[in-house]
């Protein structure tokens, strides 16, 4: 018997050794194929790039995986407790594998063998890190063994806190959220340290199967799983029974965070920043790099700019009549469901879609589009209201077959089933609205730094993503003239120089060109100031011709209006194409005393570690790095920007542009009662209407026009259409700010000038104005008109008009 036992023992030992050798060989082969776990030390997960306004408000997030990386020290204990209770309560005690849990899993799988149920894995947090970072998700024993081996190695190489940090930042929570910080924002719109016990428990329940515990599709299942996690937290001693019961009694409370743009009306600005980030760093850095971007956007000014532009576009559009409904739907069944399928302009919250239920001679009965609940489902409530005839008065002239037709009753304009836009009126009803066909762009900028404070790229980003402030190439028309006059003032002319405002024909080969003033009239000899205040085309062409278009082109390029301007005289009247952003940047040079500025939408960019990788402000400041104060003076910021225009010239042209507001084509702005310089612009056939203006600390420019250029209507001008939009914006933008005057540079002289002749006159005498002159210059000693020939012609071989001759004989321009 003893020999038999020894025999069997020997055989068993041999078999055990063979099995052990086989296992060792198998494990050795597996370990050769294992990935390098040391990559975890350098692991940088894809992290969300976040874009903020100048006040810190979140504007937008860009990510392939919405994740914000948090160091484990920033994760609250109750959140850690929730994950440990849900996934691995022995995490801080086991060496990578929980033997007890593994035994239970093996027993459960053996009992369920052949039942078709999914096998239990019993993975520890360390194993999940190994699987998520280094292995596939294949449900095989081989992958499980690799996972265990890697778990042992990871535990030996990294601390428990580091492993837990990798886990909570990597896992997927559903709804596009990765990592605990991203999940807290996505599900509850909270930071991690604001999560309650119940909220932390629900998030800890999700990694097991996010789709199985969807907060709206499977709310009961989600609450059951959450409550199980809370019970485990109680059992493990992380929360008291009382706290646990209170947490279990609370609802899920999921309030999904809106994705996209968060600052109101900031969509065009955010998209422009996105394009700049891609151009600067590439798409991977934008969508995975975790950049923190602080932009220049002022949310308050942005809301003001958006309202002013939309109001201006709507006002113009309503005067052209009503073009009809958005579409027509079948309302024989549930009109709310049918209306809910129509996409509204979600960035125009003042408006709502509605369907006409009945129309009569007194107005409309409408059904309002049902709102969507948090879950995304359409509300079952059906809200009705009315639109009175008075609240749709503009639609009594509607467009039919390309012609405007007058209607006597609302029933002639709209019928049942028509989908329309409406806006709440001051009473119980709604007013009819329509999306304007005309559009435009606006930019507001700090002239001292180039920081873009507000940008409007059109009526609605939801309607059109094309940014008319930066992408639309338009002719600025007369808004370009200040650069012609600035070039002249920088090259020997003065505001009192007199130029002939009379007919002129330019001959080039077999082609002749005879420009005209907007009103078709000529005023005779006039000062430069009068020419720009009244926006005289003939004077501008003569001035450009007198000093040479090469000089004009050089200054236009120096100001940044164009990269390359063809040196042809029509370009002096703004015939070249440019953008609102460029025009505003160029006017900023005149506003800041002649210094070149770089327009910027971004103040600062930081990488995922907080290191600044870009800063717009390039001013130097050596004294700013002093370690202590030793009675030294305050440090000065050194502005090293290029001086592209004489500061005295900048003041002269600014003073002349103030005259545009005080006496010229933009007198509608006088009621602002502020020092404002600016210039209107109207292009050929009234296709675009411009206004660009500035105070000492704010430059604003805009245009209105159709995307496919067409006439805005006879008599439409920049002063009548664009300047009122500027006025609406500045009225609120300047409210509460101190009144600041433009500063006369040291060394300049103020001399009383006769408005007609440009010659010196007695101070305070009728028809005079105080004009600023540079040192060594002053009014002319004798009357001289640029562009007038000695033979009594206009200087180009053409006879003077009787009006011009009379003006010269009287010794003045005859303009006033």
For residue 657, CA distances in Å to 4, 28, 676 come to 117, 84, 8
**10 Å Cβ neighbour count for 422?**
24
SS (H, E, C) 647-700: HHHHHHHHHHHHHHHHCCCCHHHHHHCCCCEEEEEECHHHCEEEEEEEECCEEE
**10 Å Cβ neighbour count for 786?**
19
Quick check: 98 and 88 in contact, CB under 8 A? Answer: yes
Quick check: 709 and 688 in contact, CB under 8 A? Answer: yes
Phi, psi of 573 (to 5 degrees): -100, 15
Nearest to 297 by CA among 100, 444, 115, 83: 444
What stretches of 281-402 adopt beta strand conformation (E)?
Answer: 292-295, 327-328, 351-359, 363-368, 384-388, 397-400
**10 Å Cβ neighbour count for 103?**
11
Quick check: 781 and 538 in contact, CB under 8 A? Answer: no
3-state helix, strand, coil in the chain (%, to 5): 40, 20, 40
Structure tokens at 34: 């294992």
For residue 561, CA distances in Å to 369, 451, 474, 574 come to 46, 17, 12, 10
Q: What is the largest distance, in Å, between two alpha-carbon atoms of the chain?
A: 147
Helical H segments across 236-266, by residue range: 241-249
Quick check: 700 and 489 in contact, CB under 8 A? Answer: no
Structure tokens at 22: 């086989």
Helices (H) and strands (E) in the chain, counts: 23, 27
Active site residues: 87, 478
Helical H segments across 350-505, by residue range: 410-413, 481-489
For residue 607, CA distances in Å to 48, 55, 67, 600 come to 11, 19, 14, 19
Tracing tokens 């914006």 back to the chain, one arrives at 729
Structure tokens at 539: 């004077």
Task: DSSP letter for 89, please.
Answer: T
Sign of CA dihedral 709, 713, 719, 722: negative
Task: DSSP letter for 605, please.
Answer: E
Quick check: 723 and 299 in contact, CB under 8 A? Answer: no
Quick check: 668 and 724 in contact, CB under 8 A? Answer: yes
Structure tokens at 575: 């015939």
Sign of CA dihedral 73, 78, 82, 84: positive
Helical H segments across 680-801, by residue range: 723-733
Quick check: helix, strand or coil at residue 540?
helix
What stretches of 369-451 adopt beta strand conformation (E)?
Answer: 384-388, 397-400, 403-406, 418-424, 430-433, 439-445
Terminal C-alpha separation, the chain: 136
How far apart CA 346 and CA 658 sit, in angstroms, is 40
**10 Å Cβ neighbour count for 362?**
13
**Spatial CB neighbours of 394, under 8 Å, sequence gap ≥ 6:** 318, 319, 321, 322, 432
How far apart CA 412 and CA 396 sit, in angstroms, is 9
């Amino acid at each position: 018997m003893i020999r038999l036992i020894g025999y069997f023992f020997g055989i068993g030992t041999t078999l055990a050794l063979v099995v052990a050798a086989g296992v060792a060989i198998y494990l050795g082969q597996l370990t050769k194929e294992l990935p390098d776990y040391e990559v975890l030390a350098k692991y940088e997960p894809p992290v969300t790039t976040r874009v903020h306004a100048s006040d810190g408000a979140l504007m937008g997030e860009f990510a392939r995986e919405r994740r914000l990386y948090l160091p484990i020290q920033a994760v609250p204990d109750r959140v850690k407790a929730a994950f440990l209770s849900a996934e691995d309560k022995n995490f801080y005690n086991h060496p990578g594998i929980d033997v007890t849990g593994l035994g239970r899993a093996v027993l459960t799988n053996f009992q369920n063998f052949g039942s078709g149920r999914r096998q239990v894995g019993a993975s520890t947090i360390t194993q999940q890190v190994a699987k998520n970072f280094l292995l596939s998700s294949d449900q095989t024993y081989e992958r499980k063994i690799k996972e265990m081996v890697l778990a042992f190695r990871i535990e030996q190489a990294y601390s428990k806190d580091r492993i837990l940090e990798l886990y909570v930042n990597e896992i997927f929570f559903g709804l596009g959220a990765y990592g605990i910080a991203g999940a807290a924002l996505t599900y509850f719109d909270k930071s991690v340290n604001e999560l309650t016990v119940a909220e932390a428990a629900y998030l800890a329940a999700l990694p097991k199967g996010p789709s199985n515990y969807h907060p709206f599709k499977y709310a009961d299942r989600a609450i059951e799983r959450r409550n199980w996690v809370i019970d485990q937290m109680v059992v493990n001693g992380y929360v008291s029974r009382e706290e646990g019961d209170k947490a279990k009694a609370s609802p899920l409370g999921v309030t999904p965070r809106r994705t996209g743009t968060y600052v109101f009306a900031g969509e065009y600005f955010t998209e422009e920043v996105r394009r700049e980030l891609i151009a600067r760093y590439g798409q991977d850095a934008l969508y995975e790099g975790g950049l923190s971007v602080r932009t220049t956007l002022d949310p308050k000014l942005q809301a003001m700019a958006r309202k002013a532009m939309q109001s201006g576009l709507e006002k113009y559009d309503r005067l052209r009549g009503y073009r009809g409904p958005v579409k027509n739907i079948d309302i024989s069944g549930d009109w709310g469901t049918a209306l809910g399928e129509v996409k509204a302009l979600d960035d125009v919250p003042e408006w709502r879609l509605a369907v006409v239920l009945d129309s009569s001679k007194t107005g409309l009965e409408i059904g309002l589009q049902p709102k969507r609940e948090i879950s995304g489902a359409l509300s079952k409530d059906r809200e009705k209201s009315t639109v009175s005839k008075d609240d749709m008065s503009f639609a009594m002239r509607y467009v039919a077959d390309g012609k405007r037709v007058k209607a006597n009753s609302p029933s002639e304009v709209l019928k049942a089933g028509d989908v329309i836009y409406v806006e709440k009126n001051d009473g119980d009803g709604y007013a009819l609205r329509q999306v304007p066909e005309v559009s435009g762009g606006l930019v507001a900028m700090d002239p001292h730094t180039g920081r873009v404070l507000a940008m409007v790229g059109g009526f609605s980003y939801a309607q059109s993503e094309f940014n008319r402030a930066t992408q639309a190439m338009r002719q600025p028309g007369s808004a370009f003239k200040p650069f012609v006059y600035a070039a002249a003032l920088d090259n020997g002319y003065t505001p009192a120089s007199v130029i002939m405002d009379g007919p002129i024909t330019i001959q080039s080969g077999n082609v002749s060109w005879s420009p005209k003033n907007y009103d078709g009239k000529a005023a005779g000899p006039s000062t430069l100031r009068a020419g720009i205040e009244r926006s005289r085309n003939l004077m501008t062409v003569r001035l450009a011709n007198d000093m040479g278009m090469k000089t004009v082109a050089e200054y236009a390029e120096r100001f940044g209006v164009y990269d390359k301007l063809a040196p042809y005289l029509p370009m002096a009247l703004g015939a070249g194409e440019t953008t609102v952003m460029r025009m505003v940047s160029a006017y900023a040079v005149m506003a800041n005393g002649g210094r070149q500025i770089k327009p910027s939408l971004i103040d600062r960019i930081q990488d995922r570690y907080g290191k600044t990788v870009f800063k717009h402000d390039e001013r130097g400041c050596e004294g700013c790095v002093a370690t202590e104060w030793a009675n030294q003076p305050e440090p000065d910021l050194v502005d090293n920007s290029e001086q592209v225009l004489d500061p005295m010239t900048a003041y002269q042209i600014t003073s002349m542009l103030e005259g545009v507001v005080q006496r010229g084509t933009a007198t509608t702005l006088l009621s602002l009662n502020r020092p404002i310089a600016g210039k209107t612009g109207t292009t050929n056939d009234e296709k675009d209407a411009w206004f660009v203006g500035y105070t000492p600390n704010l430059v604003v420019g805009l245009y209105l026009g159709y995307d496919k250029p067409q006439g805005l209507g006879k008599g439409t001008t920049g002063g009548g259409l664009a300047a009122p939009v500027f006025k609406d914006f500045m009225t609120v933008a300047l409210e509460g700010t101190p009144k600041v005057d433009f500063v006369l540079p040291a060394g300049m002289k103020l001399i009383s000038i006769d408005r007609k002749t440009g010659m010196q006159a007695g101070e305070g005498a009728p028809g005079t104005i105080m004009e600023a002159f540079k040192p060594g210059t002053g009014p002319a000693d004798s009357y001289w008109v640029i562009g007038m020939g000695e033979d009594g012609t206009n200087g180009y071989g053409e006879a003077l008009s009787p009006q011009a001759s009379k003006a010269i004989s009287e010794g003045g321009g005859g303009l006033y």
